[in-house]
Amino acid sequence: MTASAAYRRDIDGLRALAILPVLAFHAKLPGFSGGFVGVDIFFVISGFLITGIIAREIDAGQFSILQFYERRARRILPALLVMIAIVLVLAAWFYLPADFAGVPRSALMTLGFLANVWFFTQTGYFGGPADSMPLLHCWSLAVEEQFYVVFPAVLWICAKAAPRQRVMIVVLLALVSFTLAVWKQADTDGFAFYLLPARAWELMAGSLLALSAPAKADSRPQAQILALSGLGLIVWSVASYDRSTVFPGVAALAPVLGAVLLIRFAPGTLMGRILSLPAMVGVGLISYSLYLWHWPLIVFAEYTADAPLGGIRQITVIAASFALAWASWRIIERPFRNAQRFDRRRVFILSAGGMGAINAVALAMLPLGGWPARFPAQVTQMADAVHDVSPKRGACIIDSAGGESAACTLGAPVRATAMLWGDSHGVELAWALGERLGQTGSSITQRTRASCPPVIGYTVAIDPGCAQSNASTLQHLLASPQIRQVYLVAFWASPAYNQPGMAALIDQTIARLQAGGKQVVLIGPVPPQTFDVPRHLAHAAARGGVDKAEGASMAQYHAQTIWLTAHYRRWVQRGVTVIDPLDALRDGSRSRLIVAGRPAYFDAHHLSLSGARAVIAAGLPPQSRRP
């Protein structure tokens, strides 16, 4: 291999093909439901370019680890440090206590290139608290930097010990990583998504390209077809994947293979010319800064408005992302890549100084916690509802605790005679029931699994363990005659549960429980909101308008839940007790956001403990007060 490689405009164009779907996906543009695969394309590009440089220098006897990390520092750190500093300032200005507390920690982990590990322990990527984490996107930078801590050493060892087997060794490592990704792909813990062992194969797909024969311009029909096929795989995955796709694992093959085909066969083809267009190359040149800045802009825009991007705000944020990315590339990135303006010594000194300063600020923020002193008392009272959850919320979710345990028996310290069976919507209701039953000397056991309704026969691709968990729960119930009452709870208003045949499956579940001698209590749907309720109410309190805050309309609620609520009367006639949350949460034509002076939700659709207590108090009939 030669010690240098010619610049390829089409690679910068491919960067544009990677960043634009990511931006469109995060900005919620229609048609880009799978835009998150752009990150996988970036991994392939990175593996191809960086491995090519390392391998050429090793083969020429010129590789220097110091020079390698100098290049990484020039490329990664300047824009990253500025972005993190601005995020810390804006979060301190805008963020409510519960949301602010994690930002300094995520900044520290990002600077240590451990953001993927941090976010793996904190959240999933496709929703919930992820939408308020302005540094979430830095997980992919951490994956790359962790890869480049290990991979140069692998190539160096191969060059010394087994130069002829280098490609085969990388192939074997990639296969091990891919096998792990497939094995873990259906797990809901985020391992396959966030962590290097299950992502390394994507970078090594690019590495294998770099270690093979270099691509040459080829206009033959075969090259044209293969390059167009690469584009087709990327477009197909961007348009057809969505948040419910089991990803990465097998599904990541399409964008990865698409990127591989384009890198290998685009030169000399129609696709090569398209990727080399000035507009594509221009976007590719600013793609790193565009990746860095677009996500914090979207997060802060949605956070301050308590609403997803849409309309003019959508256009404004996208335009601002491009403007800020261009300025970041022009003012920050380009100068630091110029060795004549910033030599190695200055690059390392400035990098260390910048990292040290931001680390110091983030560390100083840690003891402040959520820093509630920034806000009036009513604002913090509303915002604190995010903590108004069951003390057993983490311990008693089956997919994190391994199932029922003694710690998940709530109420009096006696053998449980009731069970709450459901998804995460049941957690706070179980605690509220435990409090009530404890007053009568009884107890209830909790079996809850996130996004898994208590319905025998329900299956979902993203959680294959759901069906098995439900079957195990039913078996346990039928083998436990002391459990006489079963509460069924779920996020019934979720579109995921509104599918053909779901009501019939609920019928069958009820029938099997009743045949086993159980009294069935169905707790109906909670009205979901389109915003995070504690945050919305806190922002309203800051404006002096808590009393004017309105929940979702009843018309919207009925449209979402009629598939279930239409069966109430029939189930009651069969002996089922129905607790309707609307008894506590209806406020005329709107749903209620506040009960007893406190938010009824701890996010957009989960009841807070205050809300759960209100629902149980309003809906539990006298004959059901003791199981």
Residue 330's pLDDT is what?
A: 96
- Tokens matching residue 185: 């792909």
Question: What is the overall mean pLDDT for the chain?
Answer: 92
Residue 482 tokens, joined = 């002391």
Rounded distance, CA 209 to CA 330, Å? 31
Shortest CA distance to 12 belongs to which of 45, 38, 52? 45
The answer, yes or no, to whether residue 5 has pLDDT greater than 80, is no
pLDDT greater than 80 at residue 621: no
More confident residue, 215 or 599: 599
Task: Give the single-character DSSP code of 553.
Answer: B
- Give me the pLDDT at residue 56, please: 93
Residue 618 backbone dihedrals phi, psi, to 5 degrees: -80, -30
Whether the predicted pLDDT of 620 surpasses 80: no
Cα–Cα distances (Å) from 198 to 210, 396, 534, in that order, read 21, 28, 36
Mean pLDDT on 610-618: 96
Return d(Cα 155, Cα 106) in angstroms, integer.
Answer: 32
Other beta carbons less than 10 A from residue 345's beta carbon: 9
User: What pLDDT is recorded for position 622?
Assistant: 53
Report, as an integer, the average pLDDT of 113-124.
87
Q: What digits encode the pLDDT tens for the residues 34-93?
A: 999 999 999 999 999 999 999 999 999 999 999 999 999 999 999 999 999 999 999 999
- Check: CB of residue 76 under 8 Å from CB of residue 145: yes
Chain position carrying tokens 């189930």: 571
Say if residue 3's pLDDT is above 50.
Answer: no
Q: What is the CB neighbour count within 10 angstroms for residue 163?
A: 10
The predicted pLDDT at position 405 comes to 46
Helix or strand holding residue 475 (H, E): helix 465-478
The predicted pLDDT at position 402 comes to: 41
pLDDT (tens digit per residue) in 558-589: 999 999 999 999 999 999 999 999 999 999 99
Integer Cα distance of 257 and 592 in angstroms: 50
**pLDDT at 406 exceeding the cut of 50:** no
pLDDT tens sequence across 460-489: 877 888 999 999 999 999 999 999 999 999
**Rounded distance between C-alpha atoms, residue 542 and residue 50, angstroms:** 49
Sign of the CA dihedral running 343, 346, 349, 351: negative
pLDDT of residue 422: 95
DSSP 3-state assignment of 373? helix
pTM: 0.86
* % of residues, the chain, pLDDT over 90: 84
Calculated CA dihedral for residues 108, 111, 117, 120, nearest 10 degrees: 70
- Whether residue 129 is predicted with pLDDT greater than 90 in this model: the reply is no
Tell me the mean pLDDT in the region 525-549.
92
Residue 218 has pLDDT above 90, yes or no: no
Q: Is residue 392 over pLDDT 60?
A: yes
Q: What is the pLDDT of residue 597?
A: 92
Cα 525 to Cα 269, 446, 562, 610, 620, distances in angstroms: 55, 19, 10, 17, 15
C-alpha–C-alpha distance, residues 527 and 556, integer Å = 9
Taking only the tens place, the pLDDT of each residue in 330-352 is: 999 999 998 888 999 999 999 99
More reliable by pLDDT, 215 or 346: 346
pLDDT of residue 624 exceeding 70: no
pLDDT reading at 425 higher than 60: yes
Contact status, residue 478 vs residue 539, Cβ threshold 8 Å: no
Share of the chain above pLDDT 70, in %: 96
Q: Which of 450, 344, 460, 329 is nearest to 397 (CA)?
A: 450
pLDDT per position as a tens digit, 238-285: 999 998 898 999 999 999 999 999 999 999 999 999 999 999 999 999
The residue behind tokens 């090259």 is 223
Average pLDDT over residues 611-622: 86
- Quick one: how far is CA 202 from the chain centroid? 19
Fold that domain 382-622 belongs to in CATH: Rossmann fold (3.40.50)
Contact yes or no for 497/491 (Cβ under 8 A): yes
**76-111 confidence digits (pLDDT tens):** 999 999 999 999 999 999 999 989 999 999 999 999
Question: Pairing relation of β-strands 598-599 and 594-595?
Answer: antiparallel
Task: Map 8-28 to HEC letters.
Answer: CHHHHHHHHHHHHHHHHHHCC
What confidence category does residue 307 fall into, taking pLDDT thresholds of 50, 70 and 90?
Answer: confident
Q: List, in sequence order, every residue forming a beta bridge with 598; answer none if it has no partner.
A: 595
Mean pLDDT across the stretch 388-409? 71
Q: Does residue 528 surpass a pLDDT of 70?
A: yes
pLDDT (mean) for 408-433: 95
Pairing of strands 594-595, 577-579: unpaired
Query: Residues 370-377: what's their mean pLDDT?
Result: 93
**Residue ranges of domains in the chain:** 9-372, 382-622
Q: CA–CA separation, 573 vs 270, rounded Å? A: 68
3-class SS of residue 522: strand
